[in-house]
């Protein structure tokens, strides 16, 4: 089953069924439909809460199993398999992460327009969801001049309200054929096998990614970008988005 955070990242609560409940030490593991993003690709996990029978329990940890993700919670009396539960995520955190992640995609696409050999080498959103650090590699990057031009392209995309969409392809070759030069792997060092999910920003970027994103660049709002580090001899640098 496709995680619901991929089909509707703006859904912050879900009444669902506990598909399995097991005791593990002083906690319970609850398997249910995936509303909560469980961390990956540089994106941190959502914070979540489970409600049942008048009892509230925070999600302490997301445990990845074979084909599912389970919620580790403090035990709730009477909670067993097959019962209805309400799962909620912290909406402001989800929206902050989506904003940073979408801005990172758009800036990476913008910089590729401005610097011929520019390649993104992964990114990391801080645990507090306040900053996204993007690694890049480019021997032709000349510093703040290139960064300023990239920011101009990004700002124009925000003014134009470029749409952000997700689409799944059978393989990387199919994705490349569809998007052409717009296609960008999350990290060229990582080989993708099998199906690939592409998050595209109209005419600006098409990135292999499994995270959560805004629907439009219009929602990005105010942002700041700073060059954190750059080594001309290796071409490696880091940009921070806030």
Q: What CATH number did the domain enclosing 21 receive?
A: 2.40.30.130
Distance in angstroms (rounded) separating the CA atoms of residues 100 and 123: 10
User: Each residue of 19-31: pLDDT tens digit?
Assistant: 999 998 899 999 9
The SS3 assignment for 173 reads helix
Residue 186 binned pLDDT confidence (cut-offs 50, 70, 90): low
Q: 239 has which bridge partners?
A: 134, 227
Residue 2 binned pLDDT confidence (cut-offs 50, 70, 90): confident
Residue that terminates a domain, selected from 49, 70, 89:
89
Query: What is the mean pLDDT of the segment spanning 154-161?
Result: 97
Q: 237 has which bridge partners?
A: 136, 230
Number of domains present in the structure of the chain:
2
Domain range for 111 is: 93-241
pLDDT for position 137: 93
Burial (CB count <10 Å: 0-12, 13-18, 19+), residue 132: buried
Where is mean pLDDT largest: 21-30, 38-47, 58-67, 150-159? 150-159
pLDDT for position 159: 97
The model's pTM: 0.92
Same domain, 32 and 126: no
Same domain, 136 and 201: yes
């Amino acid at each position: 089953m496709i995680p619901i955070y991929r089909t509707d990242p703006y859904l912050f609560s879900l009444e669902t069924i506990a598909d399995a409940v097991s005791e593990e030490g002083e906690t319970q593991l609850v398997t249910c439909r995936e509303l909560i993003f469980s961390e990956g690709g540089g994106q941190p996990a959502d914070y979540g809460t489970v409600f049942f029978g008048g009892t509230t329990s925070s999600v302490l940890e997301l445990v990845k199993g074979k084909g599912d993700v389970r919620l580790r919670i403090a035990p709730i009396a009477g909670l067993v398999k097959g019962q209805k539960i309400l799962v909620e995520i912290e909406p402001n955190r989800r929206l902050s992460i989506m904003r940073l992640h979408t801005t990172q995609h758009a800036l990476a696409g913008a910089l590729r327009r401005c610097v011929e050999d520019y390649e993104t080498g992964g990114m990391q959103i801080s645990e507090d969801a306040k900053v996204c650090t993007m690694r890049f590699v480019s021997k032709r990057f000349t510093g703040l001049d290139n960064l300023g031009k990239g920011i101009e392209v990004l700002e124009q995309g925000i003014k134009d309200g470029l749409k952000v969409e997700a689409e799944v392809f059978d393989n990387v070759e199919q994705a490349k054929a569809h998007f052409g030069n717009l296609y960008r792997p999350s990290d060229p060092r990582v080989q993708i096998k099998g199906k690939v999910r592409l998050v595209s920003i109209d005419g600006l970027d098409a990135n292999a990614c499994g995270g959560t994103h805004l629907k439009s660049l219009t929602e990005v709002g105010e942002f700041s970008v700073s060059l954190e580090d750059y080594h001309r001899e290796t071409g490696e640098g880091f940009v921070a988005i806030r």
